[in-house]
Amino acid sequence: MLDRVQSSFQKLPLNIRGGIWMILAGVFFTFLGVMVRMANKEVHVLEIVFFRYFISLLIMAPWMMRRGLSGLRGNNLPLLGARSVSSYIGAMLWFASIIFLPLAEATALGYTMPLFVTLGAVLFLGEIVRKRRWWALFAGFAGTLIILRPGIEVVTWPTIFAIGGAVFIACSALMVKVLSRRDSPDTIVLYMSVFSTPLSLVAATFVWVTPSLETLLWLIGIGTASTLAHLAYTRSFAIADASAVLPYDYLRLLMVAAVGFAIYGEVLDFWTWIGTAVIVGSTFYIARREAITAKKSATELSSASPLQ
């Protein structure tokens, strides 16, 4: 039965398969938020983040053993370490925003991450952004201001946590761009767990509470769901165009809004939905333009190749 399902899945077009992986990632991310809140009833967010990385490391342990030490050597340990620190801070801020903000609002502000990646790529990696993508970038940040409405509404610490988390996760993504020139994606993910687990443990010791059995199960679920979500998310982009799978990622907002309403009675206001729509539209446009640019570059490189 499983082989038949897998065979049928492999026959689907790449963009459809990528979309399914993205939807699956959205499901894991959605229930991750609920589990973080459940665990936070007993333990501090710093301890939750530790278990997120520790469980991920345990899940990856069999793969590490198969590869052996020689197959796990990183080519840029300082940058791998910096990426781990950035990822840790981003996870800590994002989990804190999930705890204190409505789930859908935290998710909406998290969608600003691609905007920060684009901006960082221009400032630090020397990538060229044309006029239309600059306008899309400005529109995305305008959408953030619509959600926050500074001067009309009080900008709270949880909203700053959400945006700060997006910034640090974007920094992590930019470092992955550099690291991937010499290291495989599996090696990069592995070193994140290897470095972030002891780092998060040191921070967690200051607020450590021995979890009850119920909370321990939530913590294990957090680590498992987070790992599976990132694996599905990465697999989605690996097999399909970003512009094809991103619309499926935005379904996550509807899933999170539905779960937030069903469990916590959370209802987003009109301006949050408007700001989210602006952010989603701008990030989708940027992804689409990047895909078009990449295809043009590949075509030009192919036509210029002496092997043709």
Structure confidence by residue, pLDDT tens digits, 43-61: 999 999 999 999 988 988 8
Which of the listed ranges 2-11, 87-96, 225-234 does the model predict with the highest average pLDDT? 87-96
In three-state secondary structure terms, 150 is strand
Q: How far apart are CA 118 and CA 101, in angstroms?
A: 26
Residue 307 lies in a domain: no
Q: Which residues contact 159 (CB under 8 A, 6 or more apart)?
A: 97, 101, 105, 109, 147, 148
CB 286 within 8 A of CB 136: yes
DSSP secondary structure letters along 123-148: HHS-----HHHHHHHHHHHHHHHHHH
The verdict on residue 118 lying in a domain is yes
Residue 77 lies in a domain: yes
Confidence of residue 11 (pLDDT cuts 50, 70, 90): confident
What is the rounded distance in angstroms from the CA atom of residue 24 to the CA atom of residue 26?
A: 5
Domain count, the chain: 1
* The pLDDT value given to residue 268: 85
The amino acid at residue 277 is A
> For residue 306, is pLDDT > 70?
no
Q: Is residue 7 part of a domain?
A: no
- C-beta contacts of 80-84 below 8 A and 24+ residues apart: 80/179, 80/183, 80/188, 80/191, 80/192, 80/195, 81/191, 81/195, 82/175, 83/172, 83/175, 83/176, 83/179, 83/188, 83/191, 83/192, 84/191, 84/192, 84/194, 84/195, 84/196, 84/199
Q: Under a CB-based contact definition with an 8 Å cutoff, are residues 224 and 27 in contact?
A: no
Model confidence at 299, pLDDT cuts 50, 70, 90, reads low
- Count of residues in the chain: 308
pLDDT at 262 over 60: yes
**pLDDT > 90? residue 71:** no
Q: Which of 30-39, 280-289, 295-304 has the highest mean pLDDT?
A: 30-39
Domain assignment present for 168: yes
Q: What is the mean pLDDT of residues 133-147?
A: 85
- Residue 5, domain member (yes or no): no
Q: Is the pLDDT of residue 140 over 50?
A: yes
Cβ atoms of 118 and 282 closer than 8 Å: no
DSSP E strands, the chain: none
On average, the pLDDT of the chain sits at 84
Domain residues for 106?
16-64+73-286
Q: Please tell me the predicted confidence (pLDDT) of residue 307.
A: 37
What band does 218 get if pLDDT is binned at 50, 70 and 90?
Answer: very high
Which value, in Å, is the radius of gyration of the alpha carbons in the chain? 20
* Tens digit of each residue's pLDDT (9 = 90 or more) over 151-194: 667 788 999 999 999 999 999 888 888 887 777 777 777 788 88
Q: Determine the Cα–Cα distance for residues 232 and 36; give it in Å rounded to an integer.
A: 20
pLDDT of the residue at 295: 62
Task: Say how far apart CA 284 and CA 286 lie, in whole Å.
Answer: 5
- pLDDT confidence tier of residue 94, bands split at 50, 70 and 90: very high
pLDDT at 214: 96
Residue 239: inside a domain? yes
DSSP assignments along 255-286, one per residue: HHHHHHHHHH-----HHHHHHHHHHHHHHHHH
Is the per-residue pLDDT at 303 higher than 60? no
Q: In which region does residue 265 sit, left (phi positive, over 0), alpha (psi from -120 to 50) or beta (all else)?
A: left
pLDDT of residue 40: 96
In this prediction, what percent of the chain has a pLDDT beyond 90? 40
Helix, strand, coil % over all residues of the chain, rounded to 5: 80, 0, 20
198 domain residue, yes or no: yes
- Which is more confident, 102 or 77? 102
